[in-house]
Amino acid sequence: MKLQFELLKKEAKTGARLGKITYHGQEYETPMFMPVGTQATVKTLSPEEVKDTKAGIILANTYHLWLRPGDEIVKKAGGLHKFMNYDGPILTDSGGFQVFSLAKPKDITEEGVHFKNQYNGDKLFLTPEKSIKIQENLGSDIVMSFDECPPASASYDYLKQSVERTLRWAKRGKDVFKGENQLLFGIVQGGAYEDLRKMSAESLVAMNFDGYSIGGVANDHESKEDMYKAFHYSTKYLPEDKLRYAMGIGEPIDLVEGVIRGVDLFDCVTPTRLARHGHAFTKYGKINLKNAKYKEDFTPISEECDCYACKHYTKAYIKHLINADETFGARLLSIHNIRYLVSLMEEIRQAIKEDRLNDFREEFIQNYYGEKHD
């Protein structure tokens, strides 16, 4: 049975969306943050620990799982759900972001992209059709079209050509897509140019995808201004009744601003990556537990947090684990950081229900940054 989405409400002042995903009898509210499990695991965490954070959809990476263990192996195992023992929804990306980070401009052709296997140097070729086939073998619930990922610094002319190619690739992928219990998303590109985003979105909508992703917002360190423009210039041309997903977004303020601009889903490796470097999200900003001031701090990471780490351990203990290079420290911080972003989305959803999202934004900014943030 395919994942179902229903739009429940639009916030009075901003138009931010409250929705519901139904999946095998389970219900999840949107907007939602999705943890990333690149190699069919959210780094250092068990599926049970991920569920305990109240996360819903998780991501897996098409490129990495194609190279190892191989999509055919995952298919023989019964698909990603059985392979990794996760019964919630799973989304796979197309592999495009990783491939384009490895490919040289001359290796990008109309047919597909040539690149070298980062593990053994073998020459590989990925096409829109191949990306879809891999994701069908992986058995994810939401599949991404194969798109070109140009850098933020690309010229308008190059971006226009790239958008046009991504649209041709989207149609090729859709033409071969057979996933009976899968949704296929088209990916809106176009940098910070409204005319390109409009062309991309309207062309994809005409192809009638099951949902739509907003790409090119986490590449090459775009400015916040350009990121927020891309959100707005994409969502304004997308249908109300289908999911909108901003790819690679995980900074708390960007989640708030994305929701205000009509985005439903977000994902990023940020919470687990920060955790491995000793950093934790809190209501009052990020903290670095490597700092000496936490050596004798016997309070939780956050008094407001209900995660496993905050219920049972102190900053002093976690600082010790990080300094001693003990994996348990990264695990505890990963649990906390994912729970922080999931709970932030819970607060955002409540603000939408109460038609007070702008007020919530101001409160969040004053707490997190200690200042007004325009």
What token pair was written down for 100? Answer: 């384009």
Residue 109 backbone dihedrals phi, psi, to 5 degrees: -120, 170
Residue 307 lies in a domain: no
Quick: pLDDT tens for 55-106: 999 999 999 999 999 999 999 999 999 999 999 999 999 988 888 887 777 7
Q: Is 75 helix (H, G, I), strand (E, B) or coil?
A: helix
* Mean pLDDT in residue range 286-302: 98
Residue 67 backbone dihedrals phi, psi, to 5 degrees: -75, -35
> Are 44 and 331 contacting, i.e. CB atoms less than 8 angstroms apart?
yes
Residue where the block lists tokens 């250092």: 44
Residue 112 lies in a domain: yes
Please tell me the predicted confidence (pLDDT) of residue 220: 56
What token pair was written down for 123? Answer: 């020459």
Q: Which stretches does DSSP call E strand in 238-296?
A: 244-246, 265-268, 279-282, 285-288
What token pair was written down for 227? Answer: 């990121």
Residue 80 lies in a domain: yes
- Report the C-alpha gap between 184 and 155 in whole angstroms: 29
Please tell me the predicted confidence (pLDDT) of residue 152: 76
Residue where the block lists tokens 């593990």: 119
What single-letter DSSP state applies at residue 108? Answer: B
Please tell me the predicted confidence (pLDDT) of residue 221: 62
Please tell me the predicted confidence (pLDDT) of residue 96: 87
Please check the confidence at residue 248 and state whether its pLDDT lies above 50. yes
Q: How far apart are the first and last CA of the chain?
A: 43
Residue 113 lies in a domain: yes
Residue 96 lies in a domain: yes
Annotated active-site positions, please?
A: 93, 267
Residue 291 lies in a domain: no
* Mean pLDDT in residue range 139-144: 98
Give the CATH number of the domain where residue 160 resides: 3.20.20.105
Name the residue range of residue 178's domain: 4-269
How many structural domains comprise the chain?
A: 1
Rounded to two decimals, the pTM is: 0.96
β-pairing, 265-268 with 244-246?
parallel
| Contacts of residue 43, Cβ cutoff 8 Å, sequence gap at least 6 | 37, 269, 272, 276, 330, 334
Q: Could you tell me which of 352, 259, 243 has the C-alpha nearest to residue 9?
A: 352
Residue 28 lies in a domain: yes
Please check the confidence at residue 365 and state whether its pLDDT lies above 70. yes
**pLDDT confidence bin for 150, thresholds 50/70/90:** confident
Listed range (151-155, 166-170, 268-272, 355-359) with the worst mean pLDDT: 151-155
Other beta carbons less than 10 A from residue 77's beta carbon: 15
Distances (CA, A) of 332 to 10, 47, 139, 252, 368: 36, 14, 30, 19, 21
Residue 322 lies in a domain: no
